[in-house]
Amino acid sequence: MALKIDVDTYQGLKLGVPRLVRMLEREGAAASFFVSMGPDNSGKAIRRVFRNRGFAGKMFRTNAVSMYGLRTVLSGTILPARPIALGLPEVVREVARAGFEVGVHGYDHVRWQDRIDDLGEAGIRAELEDAFEVYKAIFHEPAKSFAAPGWRTNQIALKLLDAMGLGYHSDTRGRFPFRCAIDGVTLATLEIPTTLPTLDEVMGRADLPDAAAILSFYLDQFKADALNVHTIHAETEGMSQLESFTALVRALKERGAGFVRLDQVAARLKVPELPICSVICDYLPGRAGWISAQGAEVLTPCGSGRESPR
Ligand SMILES: [Zn+2]
């Protein structure tokens, strides 16, 4: 089980991350944290309520105000946006000191998630440069991994990331690690997709009425003979759902599951031998709006496969 922990908000970094670090240390479980480097504009996500019925339903089902706190829900709207990683650099460093991986989860999470296809190459490049600059300011060394906010990426973002020579990225939802095919070119950077549904996608399902039902759902989803990548959120599993998430970690340990960092997964894989797949736009039950997903495997005839120069 590779645990990918997304940190989308100031509140999540300040309160959720230290709790998750303590719990995972206690349980002896490794994990990778992906922190949004720029301003906490999560309140702007409320604007989606007026545009997107699915999002309104999700806000209602998951009770966003009690889950995220009013300060977060209003952040970047009537209250100023607080810087996330740069506002709490000691918390970010502490995660790495405790032995966890820290990667980049974009700069402005809301801007990336809502507007990636409007930003253009200059806009996406600016988001990436700002995010990686903040990481470097905190750690005095370049980041080696990236996870796209909201699992949204496109050809421009994937090409820009490929030129950065990262160890891997985790931008999509999918089945197994792969190499991305863009315009007939195979990118060099490994993609490790999230393979399991997220908690906010399954909460509120009529057939999963309580924490016990959700726990057994996840245990059923877990594949003992494959890599499982589970994305959790510091704002959710690190706060109101910490108890349920701790129960899941313990139940997985009892079943013999081991926990690995995503960079450890990447180090073990022979990237040139991995399948080449397209990256497609898809929709998931319980999630409003599109996400990027692992598409079908791309088969290239001998002699026509072009590797991106790196
Ligand atoms: Zn996120």
Which tokens in the block code for residue 185? 């070119």
State the Cα–Cα distance between residues 187 and 159, nearest whole angstrom: 7
CA of residue 111 to ligand 1 center, whole Å: 12
CA quadruple 101, 122, 177, 252: dihedral, nearest 10: 40
Cβ–Cβ contacts within 10 Å for residue 235, how many?
Answer: 27
Query: What does 266-306 look like in DSSP terms, one character per residue?
Result: HHHS-GGGSPEEEEEEE--TT--S-EEEEEEEPP--TTT-E
CA of residue 197 to ligand 1 center, whole Å: 14
Average pLDDT over residues 176-200: 96
CA of residue 109 to ligand 1 center, whole Å: 7
C-alpha distances out from residue 252 to 128, 247, 248, 276, Å: 35, 9, 6, 30
**What would the pLDDT profile of 205-255 be if each residue is shown by its tens digit?**
999 999 999 999 999 999 999 999 999 999 999 999 999 999 999 999 999
CA quadruple 209, 211, 217, 221: dihedral, nearest 10: 140
Tell me the pLDDT band of 44, cut-offs 50, 70 and 90: confident
CA of residue 75 to ligand 1 center, whole Å: 15
CA of residue 254 to ligand 1 center, whole Å: 29
C-alpha distances out from residue 180 to 129, 208, 271, Å: 22, 34, 11
**By the 8 A CB rule, do 53 and 277 touch?**
no
CA of residue 5 to ligand 1 center, whole Å: 9
CA of residue 142 to ligand 1 center, whole Å: 21
CA of residue 249 to ligand 1 center, whole Å: 21
CA of residue 120 to ligand 1 center, whole Å: 21
pLDDT at 84 over 70: yes
What is the reported pLDDT for 45? 66
Query: Taking Cα atoms as reference points, which of 45, 115, 54, 49 lies closest to residue 74?
Result: 45
Say what percent of the chain tops pLDDT 70.
85
pLDDT at 301 over 60: no
- 18 versus 61: the higher-pLDDT residue is 18
**What would the pLDDT profile of 258-283 be if each residue is shown by its tens digit?**
999 999 999 999 999 999 999 999 99
CA of residue 112 to ligand 1 center, whole Å: 10
C-alpha distances out from residue 298 to 179, 191, 223, 259, Å: 10, 15, 25, 30
Tell me the pLDDT band of 184, cut-offs 50, 70 and 90: confident
CA of residue 183 to ligand 1 center, whole Å: 27
Average pLDDT over residues 164-190: 96
What is the reported pLDDT for 57? 62
Which tokens in the block code for residue 260? 């690995």
CA of residue 147 to ligand 1 center, whole Å: 8
Amino acid at position 34, single letter: F
CA of residue 309 to ligand 1 center, whole Å: 30
Q: What is the mean pLDDT of the chain?
A: 90
Decide: helix, strand or coil at residue 249. helix
Kind and range of the H or E run holding 4: strand 2-7
CA of residue 8 to ligand 1 center, whole Å: 5
pLDDT at 74 over 90: no
